[in-house]
C-alpha cells in the first residue's frame, strides 16, 4: 500500500492499515473507533439488547468470539447498556483442539473479569466428539457437532438463567450461509439466516452482533489489540460444503470487497413465498427441546450413536432403519430441558 500521509478519519496521525471493508487508510485508534462504533450502531439500530439483560457470550476461544467478548465489554461500559455479560463455552471433547482453545477462554475470563461456565458434550450427551468420530469416522461428524452445540449453548444459557446468547458469527459467515442455502435450495433457512436475532417459541434469544463485521477486520482488531485467542482449525476437518462457499466468497471479495455485504443485503431481501410450507415447531417428546419432528435432532443423533448406527447420520430417510433397531439397555438420553425466565417486559437500550 502507498500510504496517504494522514489517516482518512482524523487527518492527523499516520495511517497503518487499509480497511478491508472500505479501502480507507486509517491509524490504529481510528480503526478501533470505527470498528467498535459500527458494532454499537448495529446493536442500537436493531434494538438487540434490553437494559439489564443477562447475556451469555458463546466463547470458543477463537478470534471471533474473543473479539466479541472484548468489544461487548467495551461497549457495555462506554454506552451504559447495563448488560450482565457471561462467558459460556461448550467443550465438545476434541483432544488437542478444544482443550487448548479453552485455555485462551480462561485467560480472557481473568482479563475481563467475566464469569465463565463450561458445559461438556460428555456431561450432557455422554459422548465426546472424539468418541463420536471413533464410531462414525470424519465424514458427517460436523452434523453431530453442530446439532449438539446448538442445544448445548441453549442448555448452558438456560442454566445461567440468561436471556440472550450472542455468538461471533461475522459478515463472511452470514454471506456464506446465504450462498449455501441458495445452493441447497433450503428456502426455510434462507428466509431466516440473515436475521440478526432469532427466537424460537419459548427459546432463548440468539443473536450475531458481528453480522456486518468483516472477518478480515475482526482479525485486524484482534491483532492490533493483541488479544489472546486460539487460531487452529478443528482437527476433524471443517464442513466441506461450506468450504466451497467460502472459497467462492473470498474470490468475490477479492474482486469487489462489498460483495460480502451485498450478499447479506440480498439475503435480507428474500421473502419466503406464502405457498412454501414450513414445518411447524413442536417440543421433543423425549427431552422437551424445540423440534420439528417428534424427536429433536440431538435426541435422534444420540439414539443413533447409542445403537451403534451413527454412520447413518440420521436424516428423515434413515429414521425407519433406526426405529427398527431395539433400544439398547440403559440407553443414554438427554435430560429434560429447563427453560429460563424471560425478561420480555424489560425496556430496550
Ligand atoms: N465450543 C464453543 N463454545 C461456545 N461457543 C461456541 C463454540 N463454538 C462456536 N461457538 C460460537 O459460535 C460462533 C461461530 O463458531 P464457528 O465454529 O463458526 O467458529 P469461528 O467462526 O472460527 O468463530 P471463533 O473464531 O469465535 O471460534 C463462535 O464465534 C462462538 O460464538
Of 55, 56, 57, 58, best ligand 1 pocket probe by most atoms within 8 Å of the beta carbon: 58
pLDDT at 342 over 60: no
User: What is the set of domains in the chain, with CATH numbers?
Assistant: 49-232+239-276 (3.40.50.620), 279-328 (no CATH)
Beta strands of the chain (E only): which ranges? 17-18, 25-26, 54-58, 84-91, 116-120, 164-166, 197-198, 205-207, 282-283, 290-291
Closest CA to ligand 1's atom 9: 60
Of 168, 198, 210, 222, best ligand 1 pocket probe by most atoms within 8 Å of the beta carbon: 168
Distance 147 CA to ligand 1 centre (A): 13
Distance 6 CA to ligand 1 centre (A): 36
DSSP run (H or E) holding 23: none
Which residues, in sequence order, are CB contacts of 309 under 8 Å at separation 6+?
321, 322, 325
Assigned C-alpha cell, 173? 459467515
pLDDT at 340 over 70: no
Confidence bin at 138 (pLDDT 50/70/90)? confident
Atom of ligand 1 nearest to the CA of 88: 4
The candidate with the shortest Cα–Cα distance to 210, out of 244, 235, 175, is 175
Assigned C-alpha cell, 215? 472477518
Task: Supply φ then ψ for residue 198, to 5 degrees.
Answer: -120, 145
Average pLDDT score, the chain: 91
Distance 59 CA to ligand 1 centre (A): 7
Q: Is 156 helix (H, G, I), strand (E, B) or coil?
A: helix
DSSP 224-252: HTT-----PPPTT---HHHHHHHHHHHHH
Residues linked to residue 119 through DSSP beta bridges, in sequence order: 90
Q: Say if strands 290-291 and 197-198 run parallel, antiparallel, or are unpaired.
A: unpaired
DSSP 169-195: --HHHHHHHHHHHHHHT-HHHHHHTT-
Ligand 1 pocket residues where CB is under 6 Å: 58-60, 62-65, 88-90, 92, 149, 167-169, 173
Distance 193 CA to ligand 1 centre (A): 16
Atom of ligand 1 nearest to the CA of 98: 1
pLDDT at 316 over 80: no
Assigned C-alpha cell, 146? 453442530
Distance 127 CA to ligand 1 centre (A): 20
Rounded to two decimals, what is the model's pTM? 0.92
Q: Is 66 helix (H, G, I), strand (E, B) or coil?
A: helix
pLDDT at 235 over 80: yes
Assigned C-alpha cell, 236? 476433524
Q: Which own/partner pairs from 22-29 qualify as long-range (CB within 8 Å, at least 24 positions apart)?
A: 22/257, 23/257, 25/1, 28/224
Instruction: Please report the pLDDT score of residue 249 as a whole number.
Output: 96
Distance 7 CA to ligand 1 centre (A): 33
pLDDT at 321 over 90: no
On the CB side of 76, how many CA atoms lie within 13 Å of its CA? 21
Assigned C-alpha cell, 148? 449438539
Sign of CA dihedral 271, 276, 282, 285: negative
The Cα–Cα gap between 305 and 327 comes to: 11
Closest CA to ligand 1's atom 31: 167
Instruction: Please report the pLDDT score of residue 349 as a whole number.
Output: 78
The Cα–Cα gap between 177 and 196 comes to: 13
Q: Are 210 and 39 in contact (CB under 8 A)?
A: yes
pLDDT at 179 over 80: yes
The candidate with the shortest Cα–Cα distance to 69, out of 111, 118, 101, is 111
Q: Is 19 helix (H, G, I), strand (E, B) or coil?
A: coil
Q: Are 153 and 122 in contact (CB under 8 A)?
A: no
Instruction: Please report the pLDDT score of residue 339 as a whole number.
Output: 66
Closest CA to ligand 1's atom 8: 60
Atom of ligand 1 nearest to the CA of 218: 25
Distance 168 CA to ligand 1 centre (A): 6
The Cα–Cα gap between 172 and 152 comes to: 24
Residues linked to residue 172 through DSSP beta bridges, in sequence order: none
Closest CA to ligand 1's atom 22: 62
> 41-95: per-residue pLDDT in tens?
999 999 999 999 999 999 999 999 999 999 999 999 999 999 999 999 999 999 9
Amino acid at each position: 500500500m502507498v500510504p496517504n500521509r494522514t489517516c482518512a478519519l482524523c487527518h492527523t496521525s499516520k495511517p497503518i492499515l487499509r480497511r478491508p471493508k472500505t479501502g480507507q487508510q486509517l491509524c490504529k485508534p481510528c480503526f478501533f473507533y470505527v470498528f467498535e462504533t459500527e458494532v454499537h450502531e448495529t446493536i442500537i439500530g436493531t434494538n438487540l439488547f434490553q437494559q439489564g439483560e443477562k447475556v451469555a457470550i458463546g466463547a470458543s476461544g477463537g478470534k471471533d468470539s474473543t473479539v466479541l467478548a472484548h468489544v461487548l465489554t467495551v461497549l457495555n461500559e462506554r454506552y451504559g447498556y447495563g448488560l450482565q455479560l457471561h462467558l459460556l463455552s461448550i467443550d465438545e471433547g476434541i483432544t488437542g483442539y478444544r482443550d487448548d482453545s479453552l485455555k485462551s477462554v480462561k485467560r480472557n475470563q481473568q482479563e475481563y473479569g467475566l464469569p465463565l461456565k463450561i458445559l461438556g458434550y460428555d456431561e450432557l450427551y455422554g459422548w465426546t466428539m472424539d468418541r463420536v468420530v471413533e464410531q462414525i469416522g470424519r465424514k458427517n461428524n460436523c452434523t453431530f457437532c453442530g446439532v449438539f452445540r446448538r442445544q448445548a449453548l441453549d442448555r448452558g444459557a438456560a442454566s445461567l438463567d440468561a436471556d440472550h446468547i450472542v455468538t461471533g458469527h461475522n459478515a463472511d459467515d452470514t454471506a456464506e450461509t446465504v450462498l449455501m442455502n441458495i445452493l441447497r435450495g433450503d428456502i426455510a433457512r434462507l428466509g431466516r439466516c440473515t436475521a440478526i436475532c432469532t427466537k424460537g417459541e419459548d427459546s432463548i434469544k440468539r443473536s450475531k452482533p458481528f453480522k456486518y463485521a468483516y472477518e478480515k477486520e475482526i482479525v485486524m482488531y484482534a491483532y492490533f489489540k493483541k488479544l489472546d485467542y486460539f487460531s487452529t482449525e478443528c482437527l476433524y476437518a471443517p464442513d466441506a460444503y461450506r468450504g466451497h462457499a467460502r472459497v467462492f466468497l473470498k474470490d468475490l471479495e477479492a474482486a469487489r470487497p462489498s460483495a460480502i455485504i451485498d450478499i447479506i443485503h440480498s439475503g435480507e431481501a428474500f421473502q419466503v413465498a406464502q405457498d412454501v410450507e414450513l414445518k411447524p415447531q413442536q417440543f421433543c417428546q423425549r427431552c422437551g427441546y424445540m423440534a420439528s419432528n417428534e424427536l429433536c435432532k440431538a435426541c435422534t443423533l444420540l439414539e443413533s450413536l447409542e445403537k451403534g448406527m451413527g454412520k447413518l447420520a440420521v436424516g428423515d430417510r434413515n429414521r425407519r432403519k433406526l426405529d427398527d433397531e431395539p433400544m439398547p439397555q440403559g440407553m443414554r438420553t438427554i435430560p429434560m430441558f429447563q427453560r429460563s425466565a424471560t425478561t420480555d417486559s424489560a425496556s430496550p437500550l
